């Protein structure tokens, strides 16, 4: 991409009018030469914007992909894995309703920077033994709730409309890439650290620090908040009211069921593969490959879906890919674990990422996008929190993973039904 293309990705602030030059009086001393402007050029600003956006996205899901590879080798019990799988969606769902308040007080840029600082703090706390791992995971979940709600609004306000799909795809691709890289490091760092899980968990501090540094330059462009009178009427209650009820509940159901599938699979995929005869180290590698699939599907789906006014074909295609991955795990999990892991990751990654496109496409303005995002993620993450717990309970009750996998595959049917309203614009009434 040339410099002009980069500049067009970013909406340049309105220039300040330059006053006319002063008339020089004869005999008066010559005016001092103008000082060079310290404002970055449009190209430099665009590069800083995209770099900060990518670094923040790289860090957003890192902490949630660490436990899967570690659990089989580090001796983390079923109870601990279940609780740590429950905390992120529970915290994200519980805190999402408060994000509009954060936006009103801070604006998108300052809100994202505050979230990145909290992500860094949570990553540090997670190294402090099991209590720290629990508290730090909760902090990361709260910070991620802010990022998840604000990112669609940030993309719509700071990037050109024709770039929305690409940037949401870049966001998902970066999330998957960061999480996959860190997940791949878990077992080697665990071994190098004397079979202690704390050093492996501490790897997440590095991308968290880079995210905070990367988004910091955007503070100069951020508002201190949006006007209360513009935001007060666009809250979660109103989008669940008469005019937006069908759209909001469709988004909640689709995003919630997709998120339930994602976090349940993320938490238990290595255990499923180990139970089918795959070696523990290989199962950790398959977890990384699953997240690579998440990155690929998360990039391609928003790019393709954003180019259309009707996203329903893309949503149904994503669900079919998910069904193929679960079918492989049911029929022959040990025969081609790499294939099933990648395919399932691509489907679930696409389902997660395309939701951001749906908020932007169905939203009337920035406030409406924020309200739809808040409603979907509040209900969706609270619904998703039941996934890892339910899968663990079914596994304990049946003594295997066949029934949990059948239930997860069955969840795709209501997800398909939920996608029908969220996937297209309502026809205009005559």
Predicted confidence at residue 13, as pLDDT, reads 47
Strand partners, 310: 424
Distance CA 224, CA 10 (A): 20
Confidence of residue 63 (pLDDT cuts 50, 70, 90): confident
| Max intra-chain CA distance, the chain | 97
Mean pLDDT of the region 233-247: 58
| The overall pTM is greater than 0.75 | no
72-86 residue pLDDT tens: 777 777 777 778 877
Check pLDDT > 80 for residue 151: yes
Distance CA 93, CA 223 (A): 26
Confidence of residue 46 (pLDDT cuts 50, 70, 90): confident
Helix axes 337-362, 402-422, angle to 10 degrees: 30
Distance CA 88, CA 145 (A): 9
Mean pLDDT of the region 421-427: 72
Distance CA 353, CA 298 (A): 5
Most confident stretch, 16-20, 77-81, 156-160: 156-160
Mean pLDDT of the region 380-400: 87
Check pLDDT > 90 for residue 213: yes
Predicted confidence at residue 330, as pLDDT, reads 92
In SS3 terms, 161-215 reads as: HHHHHHHHHHHHHHHHHHHHHHHHHHHHHHHHCCCCHHHHHHCCHHHHHHHHHHH
Give me the phi and psi of 272, to 5 degrees please.
-60, -45
294-336 residue pLDDT tens: 888 988 888 888 888 888 888 999 999 999 999 999 998 888 9
In SS3 terms, 60-104 reads as: CCCHHHCHHHHHHHHCCCHHHHHHHHHHHHHHHHHHHHHHHHHHH
Q: What percent of the chain lies above the pLDDT cut of 90?
A: 23
Distance CA 378, CA 252 (A): 8
Helix axes 312-331, 402-422, angle to 10 degrees: 180
């Amino acid at each position: 991409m040339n410099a002009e293309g980069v500049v067009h990705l970013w909406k340049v602030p309105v220039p300040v009018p330059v006053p006319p030059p002063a008339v020089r009086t004869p005999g008066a001393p010559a005016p001092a030469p103008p000082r060079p402007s310290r404002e970055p050029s449009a190209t430099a600003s665009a590069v800083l914007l995209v770099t900060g956006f990518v670094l923040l996205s790289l860090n957003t899901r890192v902490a949630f992909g660490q436990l899967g590879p570690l659990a089989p080798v580090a001796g983390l019990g079923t109870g601990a894995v279940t609780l740590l799988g429950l905390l992120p969606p529970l915290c994200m769902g519980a805190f999402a309703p408060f994000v509009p308040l954060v936006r009103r007080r801070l604006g998108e840029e300052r809100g994202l920077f505050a979230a990145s600082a909290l992500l860094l703090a949570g990553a540090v706390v997670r190294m402090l033994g099991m209590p720290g791992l629990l508290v730090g995971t909760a902090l990361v979940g709260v910070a991620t709730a802010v990022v998840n709600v604000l990112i669609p609004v940030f993309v719509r306000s700071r990037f050109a409309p024709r770039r929305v799909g690409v940037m949401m795809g870049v966001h998902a691709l970066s999330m998957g890439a960061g999480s996959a890289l860190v997940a791949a490091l878990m077992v080697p760092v665990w071994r190098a650290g004397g079979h202690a899980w704390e050093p492996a968990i501490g790897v997440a501090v590095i991308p968290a620090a880079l995210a905070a540094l990367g988004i910091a330059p955007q503070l100069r462009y951020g508002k201190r908040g949006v006007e209360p009178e513009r935001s007060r009427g666009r809250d979660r209650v109103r989008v669940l009211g008469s005019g937006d009820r069908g759209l909001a509940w469709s988004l909640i159901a689709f995003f919630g069921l997709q998120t339930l599938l994602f976090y349940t699979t993320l938490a238990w995929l290595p255990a499923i593969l180990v139970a089918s005869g795959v070696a523990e180290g290989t199962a950790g590698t398959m977890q990384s490959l699953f997240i690579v699939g998440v990155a690929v599907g998360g990039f391609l789906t928003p790019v393709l879906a954003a180019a259309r006014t009707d996203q329903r074909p893309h949503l149904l295609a994503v669900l079919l890919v998910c069904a193929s991955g679960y079918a492989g795990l049911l029929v022959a999990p040990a025969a081609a674990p790499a294939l099933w892991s990648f395919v399932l990751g691509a489907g679930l990654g696409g389902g997660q990422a395309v939701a951001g496109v749906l908020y932007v496409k169905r939203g009337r303005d920035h406030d409406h996008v924020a309200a739809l995002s808040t409603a979907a993620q509040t209900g969706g993450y609270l619904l998703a929190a039941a996934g890892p717990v339910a899968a663990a309970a079914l596994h304990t009750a049946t003594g295997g993973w066949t029934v949990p996998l059948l239930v997860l595959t069955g969840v795709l049917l209501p997800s398909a039904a939920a996608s029908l309203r969220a996937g297209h614009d309502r026809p205009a009434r005559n």
